[in-house]
Amino acid sequence: MADSADDVLTSAHVLEYPYSRSVGPVIGAFLTGLRDGKIIGATGSGGVVIVPPTEYDPYTAEPTGEMVEVGPEGTVESWAWVGTPAPQHPLETPFAWVLVRLDGAGTSMLHVLDAPSPDAVSTKMRVRADFVAEGERIGRIQDIRAFVPAGSA
Amino acid sequence: MPRQGHRPVAVVSFAQADNVRRELRRNEVETLMPVFAEVFSNIGITKDDVGFICSGSTDYLAGGPFSFVSALDAIGVWPPRTESHVEMDGAWALYEAWVRLQEGDIDAALVYGFGKSSMSDLSKVLALQLDPYVLAPLWPDPVSVAALQARSLLDAGKATERDFAEVAARSRKAALSNPKAQVAYDRNVAELMGEDYVVSPLRTHTLPPITDGAAAIVLAAGDKAFEWAERPAWITGIDHRVETHSLGARDLTASASTTKAAEVAGVNDGTVEVAELHAPFAPQELIVAAALGLGDDVLVNPSGGALAANPIMSAGLIRIGEAASRIMDGSAGRVVAHATSGPALQQNLVAVLEGV
């Protein structure tokens, strides 16, 4: 069957799931931290700091404990270069997805790295969180605009 | 035969729809109807011969809550029949049916999975299965998540980009003999390595096709299996495990959940002749094969696997069907089937099937 079948009636169907969620004490603290320009993790079993924090340790399922500040610098653990960003992606220009292990954290966090080309990106490179301006942050993951190479302006 | 304490249950029939990029004329019910007709007529039974029906699909594709209920119209469930559904690949519906058959009061079940990927943008739909607070708002698409996993594999020295291309070349070549394959070709590794990156380090050949499709399996217990099939594919072990949803808290180069499921299913309690692995992205096949502990002598994905056709919500069930078919057609005596769900191999199901 051809894709361009003129006799097939099609129409757009826009679907939304407009749920309101309560984020709770742990993710809530993380998002509130972002609003304040800080990255907060939760201490899991054996003292491993989990970032982004979860209410339960992902390995032992024990409740997590003390919330601690990590970063804002960290190390790239893995990356993937997006040469053609999609409209829904956080950056309009080519960028890298990165898993960043923030200083003080025992797990990695997914975000985007604003870098000029894949040649400027490598595993183990040092990066830092670049927050959107104070007053424009509302307590969401996008309060971090992107990560940028550490030491850059 | 089944492990101690389990009622013997076997795959006795398997059918799948044509795997196509875009099924414009048939809706889900119309896609499923010929699949059900085939899966029943293979063994000369009707819908009235199964005591339980279980399906796997996702409402996010059709864009309506409980849209899976309408798929039952393809069976015509009158008089009423016990029915269930999982918002997962049909492989997990098969698991539920296997558990249901352990109860002992019914002897057969119909399992199916279906999905029309073409009705929506999978790069958006599959981003919505991620954590809704810290991941989904960034819209990481499945290719990007798989690329992060592939990079980890390269960095760890566990594979090369050439290894990825070899998986793709072998799978698509095997697919040439699979009449249901959507993507099949005979191209050498060097040629594939010359392709551009989609999201580096993944080139076009490492990606699965986007597929509309459906599949169905009939399970039968005990004597009923021998009544309906000459060589039932007995499920001698089956298990599934899940890992954390937090991508950065996992070792993406390994699959702990696959290894655990394989251990419980007893994969290495005997020789594995054929393995059908649900590894949508080429690098993932290397991870799954290692996690299962498969030797070099195992024939992996003679169907071409998910790289040949990746119908959402049935590609895992098809792995079980393809593996079972190797038993039913007499070409193998002991096979392994694997299905995956979630980002970067988050959740995995492993089944061992044997002839008698």
Answer whether A108 sits within 8 Å of B249, measured CB to CB.
Answer: yes
Q: What is the pLDDT of residues A29-63, one digit of tens each?
A: 999 999 999 999 999 999 999 999 999 999 899 99
Q: Please list every residue in chain A whose beta carbon sits closer than 8 Å to the beta carbon of residue B254.
A: none
Answer whether B151 sits within 8 Å of A140, measured CB to CB.
Answer: no
B298, pLDDT greater than 50? yes
Q: Please list every residue in chain B whose beta carbon sits closer than 8 Å to the beta carbon of residue A15.
A: 60, 63, 120
Mean pLDDT of chain A: 93
For residue B170, CA distances in Å to A134, B154, B163 come to 53, 20, 11
Note which residues in 82-101 of chain A have CB less than 8 A from chain B.
82-83, 86, 88-90, 97, 99-101
pLDDT (average), residues B154-176: 98
**In what helix (H) or strand (E) does residue B148 lie, and over which residues does it extend?**
helix B142-155
Q: What is the pLDDT of residue A19?
A: 78
Which of A18-27, B62-71, B294-303, B326-335 has the lowest average pLDDT?
B62-71
B30, pLDDT greater than 80? yes
Q: CA–CA separation, B336 vs B266, rounded Å?
A: 10
Other CB atoms within a 10 A radius of the CB of residue B265 amount to: 24
B68, pLDDT greater than 90? no
- Measured in degrees and rounded to the nearest 5, phi and psi for residue A26 equal -95, -55
Q: CA–CA separation, A110 vs B344, rounded Å?
A: 13
Closest residue in chain B to residue A54, using alpha carbons only: B246
Answer whether A86 sits within 8 Å of B123, measured CB to CB.
Answer: yes
Answer whether B249 sits within 8 Å of A81, measured CB to CB.
Answer: no
A4, pLDDT greater than 70? no
Burial classification of residue A11, based on how many CB atoms lie within 10 Å of its CB (0-12 exposed, 13-18 middle, 19 or more buried): exposed
pLDDT (average), residues B87-106: 97
Q: What is the pLDDT of residue B348?
A: 98
- Of B153, B149, B161, B150, give the one whose Cα is nearest residue B189: B161
The dihedral over CA atoms of B340, B346, B347, B349, expressed in degrees to the nearest 10, equals: 50
Q: Ramachandran region of residue B76, left (φ > 0), alpha (ψ -120 to 50) or beta?
A: left
DSSP E strand boundaries for B150-232: 197-200, 202-203, 212-221
Residue A3's pLDDT band (cuts 50, 70, 90)? low
Measured CA angle at A141 (ends A137, A147), to 5 deg: 95
pLDDT (average), residues B213-240: 97
**In what helix (H) or strand (E) does residue B191 lie, and over which residues does it extend?**
helix B189-193
Note which residues in 125-154 of chain B have CB less than 8 A from chain A.
127, 131-135, 137-141, 144-145, 147-152
pLDDT (average), residues B57-79: 87
Mutate to test the interface with B, among A27, A110, A112, A137 (most CBs of B within 10 A): A110
Measure CA B306 to chain center.
8
B353, pLDDT greater than 90? yes
Q: What is the pLDDT of residues B196-219, one digit of tens each?
A: 999 999 999 999 999 999 999 999
Answer whether A82 sits within 8 Å of B246, measured CB to CB.
Answer: no
Measure CA A118 to chain center.
19
Answer whether A141 sits within 8 Å of B248, measured CB to CB.
Answer: no
Q: What is the pLDDT of residues A94-125, one digit of tens each?
A: 999 999 999 999 999 999 999 999 999 999 99
pLDDT (average), residues B226-246: 96
Q: What is the pLDDT of residue A12?
A: 85
B70: which 2 tokens? 């309408």
User: Could you tell me if B317 and B113 are in contact, meaning their C-beta atoms sit under 8 angstroms apart?
Assistant: yes
Mean pLDDT of chain B: 95
Q: What is the pLDDT of residue B141?
A: 95
User: Could you tell me if B235 and B221 are in contact, meaning their C-beta atoms sit under 8 angstroms apart?
Assistant: no
Q: What is the pLDDT of residue A2?
A: 46
Other CB atoms within a 10 A radius of the CB of residue B157 amount to: 8
Q: What is the pLDDT of residues A75-85, one digit of tens each?
A: 999 999 999 99
Nearest to B137 among A10, A83, A142 (CB): A142
Q: What domains, with CATH codes, occur in chain B?
A: 9-121+210-233 (3.40.47.10), 140-205+235-354 (3.40.47.10)
Over A17-29, what HEC string results?
A: CCCCCCCHHHHHH
A47-80 burial: b if 16+ Cβ within 10 Å, else e: ebbbbbbbebbbbeeeebeebeebbbbbbbbbbb
Note which residues in 92-121 of chain B have CB less than 8 A from chain A.
120
**In what helix (H) or strand (E) does residue B211 lie, and over which residues does it extend?**
none
A153, pLDDT greater than 70? no
Q: CA–CA separation, B309 vs B213, rounded Å?
A: 9
B21, pLDDT greater than 90? yes
Q: Which residues contact A33 (CB under 8 A, 6 or more apart)?
A: A39, A40, A69
**In what helix (H) or strand (E) does residue B186 lie, and over which residues does it extend?**
none
Q: For the CA atoms of chain B, what is the radius of gyration?
A: 19
Answer whether B24 sits within 8 Å of A3, measured CB to CB.
Answer: yes
Answer whether A78 sits within 8 Å of B151, measured CB to CB.
Answer: yes
Q: Which amino acid is at B354?
A: E
Q: CA–CA separation, B286 vs B300, rounded Å?
A: 11
Q: Ramachandran region of residue B208, left (φ > 0), alpha (ψ -120 to 50) or beta?
A: beta
Chain B nearest-CA distance from A15, in A, is 6
Q: What is the pLDDT of residue A1?
A: 46
Closest residue in chain B to residue A30, using alpha carbons only: B134
Q: CA–CA separation, B341 vs B89, rounded Å?
A: 7
Answer whether A86 sits within 8 Å of B139, measured CB to CB.
Answer: yes
Q: Which amino acid is at B161?
A: E
Mutate to test the interface with A, among B197, B200, B346 (most CBs of A within 10 A): B200
Where helices occur in chain A by DSSP H, the ranges are 24-35
The dihedral built from the CA positions of residue B331, B218, B35 and B284, taken in this order, carries a sign that is: negative
Per-domain boundaries in chain A? 24-149
pLDDT (average), residues B166-172: 98
Chain B nearest-CA distance from A127, in A, is 16
The dihedral over CA atoms of B304, B310, B316, B322, expressed in degrees to the nearest 10, equals: -30
Nearest to B138 among A8, A10, A141 (CB): A141
